[in-house]
Amino acid sequence: MAFIPHPDRRPVLVAGASSGIGAVTAEWLAAAGYPVALAARRVERLQELADKITAAGGEAVAVPLDVTDEQSVLDCVAKSEAALGPLEIVVAGAGDLAVGLSYQTTPETFADQINIHLTGAYRIFRAVIGGMIDRARGDFVFIGSDVAIRPRPWSSAYVAAKAGIDGLVATIQLELEGTGVRAGVVRPGQTLTGMGMNLDPHDTEAMLNDWIKHGLARHGNFLAPEHIAQAVAAMVTMPRGAHMRAVEVEAEGAVPRARREQQIEPEGAGQ
Ligand code: NDP
């Protein structure tokens, strides 16, 4: 057999699991039977989620992580593996958005964004990839963004970091070919999470107006974190022998009410 199937037990590390996409992805995977290590800075939130998962019959452990600190990343991986066993799956989704016009952003803020979103994800990759290559299997999922394909004004550093993720993943995919380890990127569109909720309201208004001006806010619908969790799950549950390299998920434009009312009910509906 060219590809040995996934093992029954596949421990997962989710970086950025205290909120939003990471939290829901961890819950989703735990409900599907995956043991999960929940990692972020706010450990009390992680512990609450771990308790919820455990109460529902899953297996979860809360592990502190700051992706900007290499030792913290190494400790997080060591603690996760001590608790759950060697990591078969990693979801790198830690992020913290800062916005501002490129010509007003400071070099420090710019570098911080790169550090969290790009170098942070790379630090996690670097910490786990050796073990995955040794075992000749593993899934590493980077949470990128649709801004890598369609940049938005007011987030030049974030866009640069997420475009960097795309470049990093494309390179990694070449380097990992034939090792048995799969790396992929999930690119969410706008998703309703904690991200952006702490921004200055004036900045947010100006930013949204610029998005409209550039045709980047065609409708007001947002994705839910559950949508992204499903994309991650699709990527990591893909049977071995195939490799889902990139998934882009966008919110669907709402069907106008008049059109919805005309829609034909599927056969058997209401029976
Ligand atoms: P949230 O703010 O809800 O979650 C971000 C998570 O990252 C939190 O768990 C936070 O935990 C963690 N985090 C932030 N900084 C660090 C750090 N230094 N070390 C470790 N963990 C950290 O946002 P989302 O769920 O929206 O974001 C998740 C990912 O999805 C990000 O990569 C984001 O760029 C991406 N994304 C989001 C989109 C959206 O519209 N929401 C669209 C496209 C991509 P804590 O503060 O406890 O450390």
pLDDT single digits (tens) 62-82: 999 999 999 999 999 999 999
16 within ligand 1 shell (Cβ under 6 A): yes
What atom in ligand 1 is closest to the CA of residue 147?
43
Calculate how far, in angstroms, residue 24's C-alpha sits from the geometric centre of ligand 1: 12
Give φ, ψ of 207 to 5 degrees: -65, -45
How far is residue 87's CA from residue 81's CA, in Å, rounded to a whole number?
Answer: 6
**pLDDT at residue 268 in the model:** 65
Whole-number Å distance, alpha carbon 173 to ligand 1 midpoint, is: 24
How confident is the model at residue 260, as a pLDDT? 80
Ligand 1 close to Cβ of residue 127 (< 6 A): no
Best mutation site among 13, 14, 19, 71 for ligand 1 pocket (most ligand atoms within 8 Å of CB): 19
158 as an active site residue: the answer is: yes
Q: Decide if 79 is catalytic.
A: no
For the chain, what is the largest distance between any 2 Cα atoms, rounded to a whole number of angstroms? 62
- The ligand 1 atom at the shortest distance from the C-alpha of residue 188 is 43
- Listed residue (105, 117, 169) closest to 140, CA to CA: 169
For ligand 1, say whether the CB of 64 is within 6 Å of any of its atoms: no
DSSP 8-state symbol, 223: B
Model pLDDT, residue 218: 82
Ligand 1 midpoint to CA 195 (Å): 6
Q: Which residues of the chain have pLDDT under 50?
A: none
**What are the distances in angstroms from CA 215 to CA 145, 212, 219?**
18, 5, 10
For the structural domain made of 12-248, what CATH number should be given? 3.40.50.720
Is the pTM of the predicted complex or chain greater than 0.85?
Answer: yes
Using a 6 Å cutoff on CB, does residue 94 contact ligand 1? yes
- What's the gap in Å between 186 CA and the centre of ligand 1? 14
CA terminus-to-terminus distance, the chain: 47
